[in-house]
Structure 1
Amino acid sequence: MKRILLFICLVLSAVRFGQAQSLTVEYNIGHGSYQMSEMKDRLKDLALPVVNAQTTDKFPGYVTQDTRIGIEWKRNHAGVLFNYMNTAGKKGVADYSGHCNYELHNKGYKLGAFYRFRLTKEELGIFTFEPYVQLSSGVVLTRGKELYSLFIESAPESSNQSKNKYSGTNIFLEPTFGIKFGLCRNIALNLSVGYEWDAVKEDCQLGNPKSPLPVEVDWSGYRAQAGLVFYLNLKK
């Protein structure tokens, strides 16, 4: 939150003193991989009250959505970001006699700021080619659900269900390399590849609320994105 407030002050200062050249709104969609080592260990070590239980999902990579608002001046570009991620882990078994399932659903909401430095700008006919390096930082707010269900066809009275919600906050750093292709004065295509590193991870509490098990939700992993940047020129 302090970073966001600082950025707002910088934006106002840049506009006030005539440095800002463009206001940008950016939307990217991409794919992320997630480390989730302790979450994977939780699935692996969990003993369910049935035989032949298998782990079917191990927190696979999935689609990410990313929105950024910023200002651009000279070779610099800075702003705030919001990013959404989700993944899940599942273990269980199901057949004619019933089913037993254990699931962990994780959603991650990234809030932070970014700084982007343009390495060069080349003209390609009516288009422009702009490679850049970028550093993003902020927090990841984890919101998750732990679900357990047991159903026995021959003894429905023995069926059981439980749900536990958990949350945590991580601090991340994400270096990125990207390229912007200017399509016209007000629109550019953006392509980028980066790596998110969760430098500080807060434990989430799983299991029995009376004796919870602390587990880290580690969103670290590679990020690949593509999207569009829209420009509102602040100088004529």
Structure 2
Amino acid sequence: MLTAKQHELIRFIQTRLEATGISPSFEEMKEALDLKSKSGVHRLISALEERGFIRRLPNRARALEIVKLPEDAVTMPRSKAAPPVVANDRTAPATMTKAVAPEPANDVIDIPLHGRIAAGAPIEAIEGQSSLPVPAALLGPGEHFALEVSGDSMIEAGIFDGDFALIRRTDTARDGEIVVALVENEEATLKYLRRNGGSVTLDPANSSYSPQVYRSEQVQVQGKLAGLLRRYH
């Protein structure tokens, strides 16, 4: 069951696709739904994507496709000149596919920036009140936050001191994934996750550092690495 705002957004996207063949930008969606920020749009888009109502087309920041509509959604009348919206229709002619191909855009949204996280020995994760602008194309579905990396224990994974780690919030992860791990409810670190029976090993990606081994109950997964931002001075 969708919320009122989710209904409103999917109808707006549907109408714009039918009228122009191009999905609206995050800024246009924010204004149409009278939201305060683009991060609100991102949360709605992620919720619709997770529920299977829309799909993001790869390698395009502004490419959305409607897969299905809510049963109680009102289908807007289509202009005779506008191509229909096609979702997962393998029999659609090639010209129709071209008509709905969106143009790339550079939508940016703000996600919370929660201080610094260790890529070395664990340090306290400092909660901050600031935000970080991130290209929407770097973020998939779900809720995200950012942490500034401190240390060099993950350099062999391409993660350097001063990078911004983009984290998808979750409390589960598979072995071999890079996670934000909270140790003993006090310290947070960015490491590869590895489980072995009743213990958890947090592996660095730097041969100068040793793995950190804890009891399972000492470690809580707070999120998984979704991407990186690096600033060049």
The structure with the largest helix share of the pair is 2
Task: Tell me the TM-score range normalised by the shorter chain.
Answer: under 0.3
The TM-score normalised by the length of structure 2 is 0.26
The TM-score normalised by the length of structure 1 is 0.26
Q: Which has the larger radius of gyration?
A: 1
